[in-house]
Amino acid sequence: MQTRRVALVHDFLLDVRGAERVFLALCDLFPEADLFTAVYDESGTEGRFADRRPTTSFLQRVRPDARTFRALLPLYPHAMEALDLRDYDLVISSSSAWAHGVIPDPDAVHLCYCHNPFRYAWNAREATLAKYDPLRRAMLGFVFQRWRQWDWIAAQRVDLYAANSEITRKRVKRYFGRDATVLYPPVETARFAPGDVGNDYVVLSELMPHKRIDLAVEAFNELELPLTVVGNGPDARRLRRLAGPNIRFTGRVDDEEAAFLLSSAKALVVTATEEFGIAAVEAQAAGRPVIALREGGLRETVLEGETGAFFDRPEPGALADAVRGFDPLAVDPAACVSNAERFDVSHFRHGLRTLVDRALEAERPPRPRPRRARGLALSQP
């Protein structure tokens, strides 16, 4: 690719989850690029971006972290639009919420790698609002409506969309009216290898309500089988109260420990509707099968009967039945490893280079005139 000034943009850099691992791969692919994000926590991201000195928005002044950043929700669109990208002729945003809303130089090319349109304003809007009392539901509903208006306008300024899975591609089309090319996220399959299998099933996830980890807790309470829950988040305290003595919580672990837990697991259990689900591919790279809800991106990454099993309803009983009916020790670890290799980071690098070249060579229609957010106070598009 021709040498250009490149800016890489991510929603927030406060911890290291699946989206941040994708952003790390982008950083490796563009070692000279400058990094931009709304807010940044060097400790929470384990120092992985320290040598690149990410440029942050005005929200950095209040120093939010992974537990507190959501309180600033209405301000993030304006924070992203306020980032100064005038000196760059290629902008690549990594967006699951607002990063795609940056405003590049009019002559720049903007490629967005979309993990998902902002779930709380789109595909999870009704479920999110249902959890609140009428007053807060009305207030939050107004914020989400304004967000949807801003989101649609922002999406029209992007030159090319890439989606991390087929379900995300369909959402980009449905919500934004934009076509997208599916490019699966990079998985560092070389970090994993089959090992000695133990007795525990494993959940590896952020402990958020939409991840539905309570399904696994309740199912394994019924099964009385050992379950290890890896990860942390705002739902952790509630989940611990639900759990029986057969369920162990480790909190967040480092990469080495996560690889060991996956390689020694009977199976990885996934209860959420994942847009892609990097952990499921990592488990297969470690030679272990996956038991997952038959929704979302895992239908693209797990081979039923060969590298895992599905359950059809997001209910503890359905998961318990799937666990009883599936023998994880009968699965060939080599088949799991082979399937995971389809998603190795090398495929992502090649695919992204191809998309960047396409974006740079394409004839671009005029961008809509930027309409900057002011606390999401936008008129209807």
| First-residue to last-residue Cα distance in the chain | 36
d(CA 219, CA 103): 47
Closest CA to 331 of 358, 309, 362, 353: 309
pLDDT tens per residue across all 381 residues of the chain: 455 799 999 999 999 989 999 999 999 999 999 999 999 999 999 999 999 999 999 999 999 888 888 888 889 999 999 999 999 999 999 999 999 999 999 999 999 999 999 988 888 788 878 888 888 888 888 888 888 999 999 999 999 999 999 999 999 999 999 999 999 999 999 999 999 999 999 999 999 998 999 999 999 999 999 999 999 999 999 999 999 999 999 999 999 999 999 999 999 999 999 999 999 999 999 999 999 999 999 999 999 999 999 999 999 999 999 999 999 999 999 999 999 999 999 999 999 999 999 999 887 666 665 555 555 544 333
- DSSP class of 330: G
d(CA 183, CA 165): 7
**73 is written with which tokens?**
């929700």
Backbone torsions φ then ψ of 235, nearest 5 degrees: -90, 0
233 touches 207 (CB < 8 A): yes
Closest CA to 252 of 207, 200, 191, 189: 207
